[in-house]
Amino acid sequence: MALKDAFGLAYSGATEAGFSSYARAVHELQCFIGDPVGSIDRAIADDAAFVMAHVFKGYLFGLATERDATAVARSCHQAALPLAATAREAAHVAALGHLADGRWHEAARILEDIAIVNPRDALALQVGHQIDFFTGNARMLRDRIGRALPAWQKGMPGYHAVLGMQAFGLEEMGDYARAESFGRQAIEIEPRDGWAQHAVAHVMEMQSRQKDGIAWMRANPEAWSKESFLQIHNWWHLALFHYDLGETDEVLNLYDGPIYGARSTWALNMVDASAILWRLHLGGVDVGDRWAALAANWIPKAAAGNYAFNDAHAMMAFVGAGLEAPAKTLLEAQREAMRGSDDNAAFTRDVGHPLTLAIKAFGEGKYDEAVRLIRPIRSIAHRFGGSHAQRDVVDLTLIEAALRAGDKALAGALTAERQLARPDSPLSALFLRRASNLSEN
């Protein structure tokens, strides 16, 4: 008889020892802390026939957006294929197979079906939620979790993570008050839940509550940063609040410290590093040799062509460092990616390639060209993933390009639009002044 968890879900091939390590890995993933790969490897070592342990490991690597990690996800899928003994496990194996082959949307659909039947399948909810994030599906970020929420209650293991995911989904759909409430409830239950911490930070970012955001992030950084593999992204959120206030020195201090002081070579961390330096670059801030160090770590990934969101951020580094060769390699990889049959072909074709070209054009001082390339993709930018806060760099680049191109009408329109959306943002006010000065000259 298969071992069952606290929710009555069966785990074929698991013993108590292996399941203990699996449960630890689940908790670590739900909080974004510790070493879930190490924990799941221990589960597999104890129970080689534990199908969900292989699936779990495959999901971890499949969500890394790294080409080498995808190969590990495929091997995990192969190991899991003959082991599934229940319909739920077989569905998870199928979802992993699609994810490993770059069919993000199909994986998300299967995970959606698993959670409809099994709303307390924490892994189906969390991996589906992450795929919704990587594909920019705001509605499903909210609704995937909202459907399952009635099956959960306080005191259940992992309840905090469900609240935290619901918080982020509500935020991405603009339901800020409820998002903040859910996020704060999650942190009260589990202060180490980095995703819930970040959901509340997103609310404050979108509402231009910079001082509230700084206070939220600085109140207990030990909880969300210690042994956390989401800590760089959360430090990035703190840097955004200081950036909006024009506190450039503090932004650079954060960059040189917790954001990129260790010079991570993990793409998800390098995205945050590129994103903050590019914002400073748009504002004319000299960041010294920081671009060169970051670009050096992007160069080995220039030909990957496996996730368009990463490509755009790699191009920021190549432009900032003045590197032509890897920029050319990156664009060639994108052209090859667009000929593929996986979902990244569409991510790249619809948004990633034109945005990457626009970033390069901006770096070359071709501001009119940058404007031409960005304007058609603004309304569909969600298609290549990320959050509203992350994709704000698209709008920031467009506004700066319009200002530098001397396009009075467009700059005036864009800055008025931003002022309406973010009336309490010092950056919005700065843009308005610059557009007004442009009109007067």
411-439 pLDDT tens trace: 999 999 999 999 999 999 999 999 999 86
Q: Report pLDDT for 440.
A: 64
Q: Report pLDDT for 2.
A: 84
- The answer to whether the predicted template modeling score (pTM) of the entire model surpasses 0.95 is yes
15-68 pLDDT tens trace: 999 999 999 999 999 999 999 999 999 999 999 999 999 999 999 999 999 999
Dist. CA 366–CA 416, nearest whole Å? 24
Share of the chain above pLDDT 70, in %: 99
Q: What angle do CA 405, 407, 410 make, to 5 degrees?
A: 125
Q: Which residues pair with 228 in a beta bridge?
A: 33
**CATH T-level assignment (fold) for domain 1-134:** 1.25.40
The yes-or-no verdict on residue 441 having pLDDT over 70 is no
Dist. CA 405–CA 245, nearest whole Å? 25
Using only the alpha carbons of the chain, give its radius of gyration.
Answer: 22
Burial code (b: 16+ CB inside 10 Å, e: under 16) for 295-312 equals bebbbebbebbbbbbbbb
* Average pLDDT, integer, range 277-304: 97
367-416 pLDDT tens trace: 999 999 999 999 999 999 999 999 999 999 999 999 999 999 999 999 99
227-283 pLDDT tens trace: 999 999 999 999 999 999 999 999 999 999 999 999 999 999 999 999 999 999 999
Q: What angle do CA 296, 302, 305 make, to 5 degrees?
A: 155
Angle between helices 388-405 and 353-363 (to 10 degrees): 40
On whether the CB atoms of residues 147 and 117 are closer than 8 A, the answer is: no
The yes-or-no verdict on residue 10 having pLDDT over 80 is yes
Half-sphere exposure of 105 (CA within 13 A, CB side): 12
